[in-house]
Amino acid sequence: MATLAGHSKSKKRVSYFYDEDVGNFTYGQGHPMKPHRMRMVHDLVVNYNLFKKMEVLSPKRATPRQMTRFHTDEYIDFLCRVTPQNVEELSMQQTRFNVGEDCPIFEGLFEFCTISAGGSIDAANKLTGGESDIAINWSGGLHHAKRFEASGFCYVNDIVLAILELLRYHQRVLYIDIDIHHGDGVEEAFYTTDRVLTCSFHKFGQFFPGTGDVSDVGIGTGKHYAVNFPLKDGMDDWNYQNVFRPVVEHIMGWYRPGAVVLQCGADSLAGDRLGCFNLSMKGHAACVEFVKGFNLPMLVVGGGGYTIRNVARAWTYETGLLLGEHLSEDLPYNNFLEYYGPEYKLDVPANNMENMNTPAYLADMKAKVFENLRNIPFAPSVQMQQVPYDYESEEEEDNENPDIRMSQRQRNTLVVPENELSDSEDEGNRRNERNYNSNGRESSSRKSRASHKNSSNEHEGRSTSSRTHKSSSGVREKDGRKMLKTRLIDDVLNTSIRRTSPSVDRPSIMVTSSPSTNTSTSKHTIPSGPEVATKQEPEILDSTVSLTQPQVEDTTKTNDNTNNVDNNENDDDENNNNDIKDNKEEIKDENNDKSNEPVAMEIDTNESLPEIKREPEDVVMQQ
């Protein structure tokens, strides 16, 4: 046994996790669970100068995402939302998640759970990273919490979360529980797997939680990987060691775990408010020392313990034992010295309680446990695979150094602009409304400026090209006149005229062009509309427009003319695009044309026009 355990005297690298806020919480007046006990333990650790011998760390708070690696989303969401103020509104969920008398709703409940779970998770990561040989989190050890409900003063099972971290690097993990209550939450979590072997020494028979019989060995793949050693009242040091050491040694030699988690519930000590064992402080600590001797990565957590002065003594003594330090029996001065009177000693002695565990009973239980262990294979193997990714929630964890401040300019570089990302299919190809409108206005203004510029260039080209049409062929001259006629009509429409015309009659305009000797006239109709107010292009310099009051009486000719012109509009539009290209080429060839005779445009007064109602301002025709 000594050879297997090793019992190395070398110093271990020990990490100690403590959050100074853990002692601020209370389950309520009269409740046996006192988080204040962790503050008393830490105060003794500091005053014994043990903090100088180990690495003292403040753990990160566990996030809801980390908790849901084991617990259900609904349960964790309930713990996040429930408070003493809204507990009545969530009365239906209280029954569902088993919160009430044993597991009350108190102020800061979820924060307390994050501290407990975060310490055990960080301690496990310290071991898997090879940075420590032993990691201690006395705030953990809440082994009763189930996947979907609270139980036995426990809300979040930090032990299960820590073992899940260890399983990422170790093929097999051994969990040992020396709390007086059965570790039902941890056993239930790994009841069907062979990668975790749970071993619990506890009081059984009409005692909470009522589970942990010797016949409870697991199911499926996890059959025979749940070891339960039920005990009776009055268990003393000698008998406890007589069953603890051989069972644990047999498991170590046959199961070959890669890491060990030891739950050190102090309610198995003599004189505990809720316990019925008769273990002394040194008898309890002997279990810790024995497990330490196997030289495996070891996670030590707290658990039960309801006589808080004895809890502080035991866990302080076991911290020194894990460090290999001998502690004085006389307590040093500390902030809670009055709790340890009248003896003020670092000791929890056994009493004269009768031991109900007979030698025959213990021998029978030991034989049954060994028989179950014979059914498991030697060191069950695990298929080789890549180590799972060690992720942390970037949305919920702040990894920034609080001592380094980031400027606003640096923060702005981390923000993605709203128009940087493309539309997703989930949004139905809808654009951001603001960007869409602003881009539309900008695009319209750009198109308008480009259209005005092109229009002005085309107007100038038309006036120049009209002077060259007389020397062209007959077809070319006819098409040119049609094109010029169309552009001049558009110029008239772009003048600063505000008019109101009847919807019945449509006026016609006669355009007279006299580039040199020949003069050609053509007629076109102005579309009727409620208002025309556009700016005249300044490039048309040699044109005159005269408006005459129309004669409204004769409408027959106007209607006939309108029908004739409408029939020709489609032909004119088809030739416009070709004429623009041809006119640009002809403009280049006729640069030496010296004919600058003006082009006149008049309204044919013989045609009937609708009455034009003028605004107070006169029509201004820009030259």
Rounded to whole angstroms, the Cα distance separating 290 from 203 reads 21
Residue 593 annotated as part of some ligand binding site: no
Report d(CA 190, CA 177) in Å as an integer. Answer: 14
Full DSSP string of 296-337: --EEEE-----SHHHHHHHHHHHHHHHHT-PPPSBPPP-TTG
- CB-count exposure of residue 241 (10 Å: 0-12, 13-18, 19+): middle
Cα gap 527→471, rounded to integer Å: 33
Say which residues have a Cβ less than 8 Å from residue 424's Cβ, sequence separation at least 6: none
Q: How far apart are CA 398 and CA 400, in angstroms?
A: 6
DSSP assignment letter at 60: P
Residue 265, phi then psi, degrees to nearest 5: -60, 125
Surface-to-core class of residue 572, CB atoms within 10 Å of its CB (0-12 exposed, 13-18 middle, 19+ buried): middle
Catalytic residues: 144
* Cα 142 to Cα 153: distance, rounded to the nearest angstrom: 8
Query: Bridge partners of 509?
Result: 524
Q: Find the DSSP H helices in 256-307.
A: 281-292
| Dist. CA 586–CA 589, nearest whole Å | 5
**344-349, long-range: CB within 8 Å, 24+ apart, which pairs?**
346/281, 346/313, 346/316, 346/317, 347/280, 347/281, 347/282, 347/313, 348/269, 348/270, 348/271, 348/280, 348/281, 348/284, 348/310, 348/313, 348/314, 349/270, 349/280, 349/281
Are β-strands 298-301 and 259-263 bridged in parallel, bridged antiparallel, or unpaired? parallel
Pair 311, 275: CB distance under 8 Å: no
E-state strands within 493-594: 508-513, 520-525, 543-546
Residue owning tokens 């199961």 = 255
* Residues in the chain, total: 623
Confirm or deny that 306 is annotated as ligand binding: yes
Token reading at 410: 């640096």
490 is in an annotated binding site: no
Question: Is 344 labelled as part of a ligand binding site?
Answer: no
List, in order, residues 6 or more apart from 417 with CB less than 8 Å away. none
Complete edge-to-edge strand list for the sheet that includes strand 55-57: 55-57, 14-17, 134-137, 298-301, 259-263, 173-177, 196-203, 226-231
184 has binding-site annotation:
no
The Cα–Cα gap between 559 and 539 comes to 33
Determine if residue 237 is labeled as part of a ligand binding site.
no
Q: Which residues contact 33 (CB under 8 A, 6 or more apart)?
A: 27, 153, 306
Residue ranges of the binding site for a divalent metal cation: 179, 181, 267
Residue ranges of the binding site for substrate: 102, 152, 306
Residue ranges of the binding site: 102, 152, 179, 181, 267, 306
